[in-house]
Amino acid sequence: MKIIEKIALILYSNIILILSVIACLLIFGWLDINIVQSLIKTLIISETSSKIILGVSIIFILLSIRCIFFDPTSKKELKEKQGVLLANDNGKLMISKETIENLVEVVTKEYKMAKEVTSRVELDKENNVNIFVNIVVGADTIIKDLSADLQNKIKNKVKETTDLEVKEVNITVKKAIQEKQTNIEK
Residue-wise pLDDT tens digits, 105-138: 888 888 888 888 888 888 877 777 889 999 888 8
For residue 186, the model assigns a pLDDT of 47
What is the pTM (predicted TM-score) of this model?
0.54
With a CB cutoff of 8 Å and minimum separation 6, the contacts of 123 are 80, 83, 84, 97, 129, 130
For residue 73, the model assigns a pLDDT of 58
d(CA 165, CA 113): 27
Q: Which of 121, 114, 119 is nearest to 175 (CA)?
A: 114
pLDDT digits (tens, 9 = 90+) for 65-110: 877 777 665 555 555 567 777 777 888 888 888 888 888 888 888 8
